[in-house]
Structure 1
């Protein structure tokens, strides 16, 4: 058998299986008499659990998104370092700052590594200098990272 014939035969078998699984010769009005009633639902039956990603992020040192006032102060401080750091994309700048909190948390005794990762994270169309990176770290720690 060639490849096309095999694929066509396989597709036909799958389609036939799907049709036989879905179809029924019985009248639908008689089915409803014989089928069990649906189980009652209550609001307490399905408790809402917190997202595991949020708790994983917190354990990794990544803080929650800041409130509007905190975000505004953070963006102003980043713009003071260099307007290119935000470039009109505040959500991206906040995300990078929160991730930097995670880096600080992950490498508390390796400042050089934190600087290097932060410099890469905030470099975009223009390269961020080491001096700017140190200022970025100060801004991030001041406005976004949880106080420890």
Structure 2
């Protein structure tokens, strides 16, 4: 799992680097953009190329965490950014294995650990996380 996450992160980084490498050779050319200066549209395009949904806005992220908290407050354990990141990764899992619900649940259980649940929250909770994630973050997957 960590290999896939690392690979996806590297692929996204390379894509972002490729997007920013389009400079001119003029002496008065502007410096190349870094990932932090890319437009949201460029970031969303890079995420799409990596098989991930666009990052939700603050209101959607808050609604997502609220839905996770309705299952169990220890799932997000107060860390919105971490929960959204894990959710986007879960969307990638849904997209890569659309008809393998067993694999989705198993990987989700492993991915969604917390300090009080270092081995995950169990398959029943993982299936609920999958449902919420699919509905809230990537309904088109």
Bin of the TM-score, shorter chain as denominator length: 0.5 to 0.7
Equivalent residues of 2:47, 2:53 under 8 A apart: yes
TM-fit CA distance, 1:59: 3.0
Matches within 5 A, 1:62-73: 62-73=52-63
Q: Could you state the TM-score of these two structures normalised by the residue count of structure 1? A: 0.62
* TM alignment of 1:91-106, pairs within 5 A: 91-106=81-96
Q: For residue 90 of structure 1, what is the aligned residue in structure 2?
A: 80
Structure 1 residue runs of 5 or longer lacking an equivalent are: 1-38
SS in 2 for 1:142: helix
Q: How far off its partner does 1:130 sit?
A: 1.4
What are the within-5 Å matches in structure 2 for residues 110-129 of structure 1?
110-125=100-115, 126=117, 127-129=120-122
User: Is the 8 Å Cα contact of residues 97 and 140 (structure 1) preserved in structure 2?
Assistant: yes
CA shift for structure 1 position 74: 0.3
Greater relative contact order structure (CA < 8 Å, 6+ sep): 1
**Distance in 2 between the 1:47 and 1:124 partners?**
39
Q: How far off is 1:84 after superposition?
A: 0.5
Shift of the alpha carbon at 1:48?
6.1
TM-score of the pair, normalised by structure 2: 0.65
Aligned pairs, number: 108
Larger Rg: 1
Q: Which runs of 5+ in 2 are unaligned?
A: 1-25
Match of 2:49 among 48, 59, 62: 59
| RMSD, aligned α-carbons | 2.7
